[in-house]
Each structure stands twice: as C-alpha cells, then as structure tokens.
Structure 1
Amino acid sequence: MGTALVVEDSLTEREIITQCLKLAGITVVIASSGEEALEKLLGDLPDVIVLDVVLPGRSGFEICRELKAENRTNKIPVIICSTKDTDMDKYWGMRQGADAYIPKPIDQDFFLKTIKQLIHH
C-alpha cells in the first residue's frame, strides 16, 4: 500500500497512528523529532508524512514548510496531526503546505481515508 513517515514525540499517539497504518497495510517509519525526520528523508522517501506540530526542537509547521520548499520532498503529501485544533492552527498548517490537517485524537476511519486519497493522488 505504501510507506508513511510518522513524526510524533508522544509514545501513545505514535502507537495509535502506527497501529492504524499497519492494519491498513502501510509500512511505517518512525521519527520522534523534526530533525530525526529530516535525517530519515535523506534515505528512501515515504509515500506520505504524518507530522505532529508540537515536537522537540523545531515545530511541525517549520518542518512542513522546509519539506515543501525542497524539490526532493515537495511532492510528498504531508498530513498534520495535532491537538492544536483551532481554525487558525488549521489555516496556518495549510499555509505551510500541509495537504491535510487532522485533529487528535484521530478519527481512524477519516485518517485512513485521507491517507489513501493522498497516496493515490
């Protein structure tokens, strides 16, 4: 089905997202910080990136903006998953180049539907 890079520092959230993706047949690569995610992207590129906003070091918004500015990674769909759920947060996430913004706790059916749409886009 594809590969997802999950960038999430919360172990609980990471487990929920990882299990959801694996059940859908998606291979999961994990990073617990934006810096670790950028290192992993130097190797094989995933089909989709699931990105938290509140991360140690740089925010998910910064990482998203950087990914969308680089030719090598700008075509990879980015889904921001965050507890930051105001209209302004969603607007700001989309302005950084996110392809989707999903509030936590995630609705797993909606999350997988969004992932599948973006992978097959």
Structure 2
Amino acid sequence: MPVSKVLVVDDSAADLVHIRQILEDAGYLTLTATSGREAVATAQSQRPDLIFLDIIMQEMDGFEACRRLAKDDATKDIPVVFVTSKNQKADKVWAQMQGARAFITKPCSQEDILGQVTALQ
C-alpha cells in the first residue's frame, strides 16, 4: 500500500515537530495528534496510511491507542510504528502484542523514520 498520509502522535512538541518535519520534507501529508485519544479519533476520521505513535502520553497511552485502533474495523489495517524512549526488550514485545508493526527508539533519525515508511509500503 503506498503511503501518502501519515499521522504522527506525540505529547512532546519537540518530538512531534521533528518527526513531522522529516515526513513533510520527504513529501508526505502529515497529520498530528498529542494524545492517544486524539490519535484514535483522527485515525477514524482521516484514515492515514501509517501512524507513528508515542507510548508515554497523558489521557490514553500509546499501547491503549494501538489496541483500540487494532479492534476498529475502520483502522485495524493502518500500520502503527511506535516511536518511544522506552527501549527494553519487554517494551518491544508488548508493542508487537498490541498490534504495532515496528518500534523506533528516540531520539530518532531521518533514516529511522523514512526507513519505516519504505518498509511498510
């Protein structure tokens, strides 16, 4: 599936801007959200082709958002890539169990982000 629209979800303004800029510079339409709850609502209404999702957020964490996206017929096929400072093996295993397709550890580079876009097309 070609990727043209990407949702970036992070409650850190600096990380959100960093990832959004990488994607926009590469020509992708980028949507943003700052909580898991907002991510689920945006994914349902805007149907992005790919979601980059932080784990540690207020309101609803990334794990819960990923579970909700995976259970919803409208969003279950959208690939989710976690982008987080959590880097333990248990975090990666748990992320996969929630439905994530990939896991990037912060700080992330342009190569990390665009590499996942390419891998999931």
Answer yes or no: same fold by TM over 0.5: yes
Q: Deviations over 1:34-67 (max 9, x none)?
A: 1111222232200001100001111101100111
1:75 aligns with 2:77: yes
Q: Contact 2:70/2:76 (CA < 8 Å) preserved in 1?
A: yes
- Report what 1:29 is aligned to: 31
Structure 2: runs of 5+ lacking an equivalent = none
What CA distance in whole angstroms lies between the structure 2 residues aligned with 1:42 and 1:52? 18
SS at match of 1:80: strand
In 1, Cα distance between equivalents of 2:24 and 2:70: 26
Report the more deviating stretch, 55-64 or 36-45. Answer: 36-45
Matched AA of 2:12:
S
Q: Distance in 1 between matches of 2:111 and 2:19?
A: 11
Gaps of 5+ in 1: none
Of 90-99 and 1-10, the range deviating more from structure 2: 1-10
Report Cα offsets for 1:62-114 as digits up to 9, x if no partner. 10011111111110000000000111101110110000000000132122111
**How do 1:57-68 residues align onto structure 2 when only pairs under 5 Å count?**
57-68=59-70
Give runs of ≥4 in structure 1 deviating > 3 Å: none
State TM-score, norm by structure 1. 0.93
Of 25, 47, 50 in structure 1, the residue corresponding to residue 49 of structure 2 is: 47
Number of matched residues?
119
Q: C-alpha separation between the residues in 1 aligned to 2:95 and 2:33?
A: 19
Please give the residue correspondences for 1:84-95 in structure 2 after superposition, counting only pairs within 5 Å. Answer: 84-95=86-97
Report percent identity of matched pairs: 37
2:100 aligned to which of 90, 98, 101: 98
| Structural RMSD (CA) | 1.1
